[in-house]
């Protein structure tokens, strides 16, 4: 038990777990194991509390449950840095914001330029604006103490501001169109949250 406890005290352990999980998922999704991967990924998970029933596939529990906890923890760290840490200085805090704007704009422009002739594909221009913050922080943690604290905080803030901006862009530009499209095609017959 002591070795496992010591292993999880190292910062690199979380990065290794993230990278290993990504590689395992890529191999499983693109191999003969794809059926098993999809089965596990979409396994129904039910939660009941009195009359409230939540019925979601496993992937939704991960996306809407575990990722919320992850963003809460990372957001609290950025708040601490903005209030009393390396980003408390206005000039230091503005740099990752502008870097995130550039990191959102250029992928969207590249995507739009490559798909300009296809009006349907062009509708997805907002999707490449998001950075995969979990993967970015996992790779960053692999470098451990070799990365200066100020650079680590800058890159973490950049990834978070990029994700916040991408969520706003996707929500503002794509959500309304997606809702209109979905409501014109079908009516939900099985709500995800319901009372029994």
pLDDT tens digits for range 54-87: 888 988 888 778 777 877 887 787 788 788 887 7
- Residues 170-182: what's their mean pLDDT? 63
Enumerate helices (H) and strands (E) in the chain, giving the number of each: 10, 3
Q: Please state, in angstroms and rounded to a whole number, the distance separating the CA atoms of residues 66 and 61.
A: 7
pLDDT at 180: 57
DSSP state of 171: I
CA separation for the pair 160, 130 (Å, rounded): 10
Contact 159, 131 (CB under 8 A): yes
Domain of 158: which CATH number? 1.20.1530.10
DSSP per position, 99-165: HHHHHHHHHHHHHHHHTTT-HHHHTTTTGGG---HHHHHHHHHHHGGGS-HHHHHHHHHHHHHHHHH
Q: Are 58 and 26 in a shared domain?
A: no
Tell whether 59 and 136 lie within a shared domain. yes
CA separation for the pair 133, 72 (Å, rounded): 13
* 161 closest CA partner among 85, 89, 105, 110: 105
pLDDT of residue 189: 46
Closest-CA residue to 149 (of 87, 71, 191) = 87
Domain that holds residue 60: 42-195
8 and 104 belong to one structural domain: no
- The verdict on 135 and 147 lying in the same domain is yes
**Tens digits of residue pLDDT in 99-130:** 889 988 998 899 999 999 998 888 888 888 87
pTM for the full model? 0.62
Residue 154, pLDDT score: 83
pLDDT attached to residue 37: 87
Residues 51 and 35 grouped into a single domain: no
Same-domain status, 47 and 25: no
Q: What is the spatial distance between Cα 124 and Cα 180, in angstroms, rounded to a whole number?
A: 16
User: Same domain, yes or no, for 157 and 72?
Assistant: yes
Under the banding of pLDDT at 50, 70 and 90, the label for residue 52 is confident
Q: What is the mean pLDDT of the chain?
A: 78
Give per-residue pLDDT as tens, 124-157: 888 888 767 777 777 777 777 777 878 888 887 8
Question: Phi and psi (nearest 5°) for 33?
Answer: -80, 5
Check whether 184 has a pLDDT greater than 70: no
Q: What is the pLDDT of residue 8?
A: 55
Mean predicted confidence (pLDDT) in 42-65: 85
Among 118, 128, 110, 122, which residue's Cα sits nearest to residue 170? 128
Residues 32 and 59 occupy one common structural domain = no
**Number of domains observed in the structure of the chain:** 2
> For residue 69, what pLDDT is reported?
83
């Amino acid at each position: 038990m002591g070795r496992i406890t010591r292993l999880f005290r190292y910062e690199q352990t979380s990065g290794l777990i993230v990278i290993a999980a990504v590689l395992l998922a890529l191999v499983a999704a693109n191999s003969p194991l794809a059926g098993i991967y999809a089965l596990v990924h979409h396994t129904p998970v039910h939660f009941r509390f009195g009359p409230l029933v939540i019925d979601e596939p496993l992937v939704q529990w991960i996306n809407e449950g575990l990722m919320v906890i992850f963003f809460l923890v990372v957001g609290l760290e950025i708040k601490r840095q903005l209030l009393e840490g390396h980003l408390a200085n206005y000039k230091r805090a503005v740099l990752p914001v502008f870097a995130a704007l550039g990191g959102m704009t250029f992928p969207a422009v590249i995507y739009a330029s490559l798909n300009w002739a296809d009006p349907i594909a062009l509708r997805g221009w907002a999707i490449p604006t998001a950075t995969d913050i979990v993967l970015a922080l996992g790779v960053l943690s692999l470098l451990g103490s070799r990365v200066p604290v100020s650079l680590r905080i800058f890159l973490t803030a950049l990834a978070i501001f990029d994700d916040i901006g991408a969520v706003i862009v996707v929500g503002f530009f794509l959500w309304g169109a997606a809702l209109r499209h979905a409501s014109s095609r079908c009516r939900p017959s099985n709500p995800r949250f319901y009372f029994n």
